[in-house]
Structure formats: structure tokens, C-alpha cells
């Protein structure tokens, strides 16, 4: 699952990165957003949305995106 | 960029999620790993690898994956 700060919500980690990169010599960087990447194996992928709502994301300030791939054997 | 704990490196956030989910009634979850998702606009995508090495990831304990997409106009 990918969890991102909602647009319009303060993203202090993103701002910190955006300020730090030019100081390291990287210019031309904008719109930095820092979120979370959560990877897991689950028996029932229909649980994933509820997991995000209840634990993995804060739906007030974050949005999430669920990506699934078939089980690797 | 996707930043993940290297396999074999302790992932306390992943372990915490793995323990919390069954307590919320979600069973059948395994191999939870929590990493970071960093999104940004950059003029020169060849800078991205150096950005990861120098700031965005800790190469000692994390691995990173760079995904690019063309600029949206």
C-alpha cells in the first residue's frame, strides 16, 4: 500500500527534503512529498482497504493506494 | 522513489504492524515491511540515484527503487 499526505495537508518531511536537496547541490526539485510504503502478504486482499482505514493510514490527513500482485510461489 | 528496509535488517515498524493487525481482527498477514514513498518533480532525473544515496535513503540499511514518469503538462 502507498500512503501519502493528502494534498493541502502540511507535509513537513516533504518540506524538509525540498529544502535539504538544494543544499546538497541538487537543483530543480519541487513538489516533494514523503509518504509510506507498506508491503505485506495477506490471505484475503479484500481486507486491505479496512486495514488502511483502521491502522495503516490516517484517513483524516492521508490518502492510500492499494496495489496487489498475485502470490509468488 | 520507494525506500525499503533491506531484507535481513530489523524492521520494527513492520513488526509492529504485523502484531497489531491480528489484534484488530485481520488474520493471515505475514511479511509486513514498512518503508518510505518519496515523490518529487525534478528537472534532471539522472540526479535521483545520487539523491537517494546522499539524503533520501540510508544505503547501509535500506534499498531504494527509482520509478520515473514523464512530466505531466
Q: What structural domains does chain B harbor?
A: 2-65 (3.30.1280.10)
Asked if pLDDT for residue B71 goes beyond 80, the answer is: no
CA angle A4, A6, A40 (to 5 degrees): 25
For residue range B21-44, what is the model confidence (pLDDT) as tens digits? 999 999 999 999 999 999 999 999
For residue range A1-39, what is the model confidence (pLDDT) as tens digits? 999 999 889 999 999 999 999 999 999 999 999 999 999
Determine, for residues A38 and B32 on separate chains, whether the beta-carbon distance falls below 8 Å: yes
Sign of CA dihedral A37, A66, B8, B20: positive
Rounded Cα gap, residues A5 and A7, in angstroms? 6
pTM here?
A: 0.89
ipTM > 0.85, yes or no: yes
pLDDT at A3: 95
The chain B residues in contact with chain A (CB within 8 A) are: 2-4, 17-18, 20-21, 24, 26-44, 47, 50-51, 54-56
Amino acid at each position: 500500500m502507498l500512503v501519502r499526505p493528502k494534498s493541502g495537508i502540511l507535509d513537513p518531511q516533504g518540506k524538509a527534503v525540498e529544502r535539504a536537496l538544494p543544499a546538497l547541490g541538487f537543483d530543480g526539485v519541487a513538489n516533494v512529498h514523503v509518504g509510506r510504503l507498506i508491503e505485506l502478504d495477506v490471505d484475503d486482499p479484500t481486507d486491505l482497504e479496512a486495514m488502511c482505514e483502521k491502522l495503516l493510514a490516517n484517513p483524516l490527513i492521508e490518502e492510500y493506494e492499494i496495489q496487489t500482485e498475485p502470490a509468488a510461489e
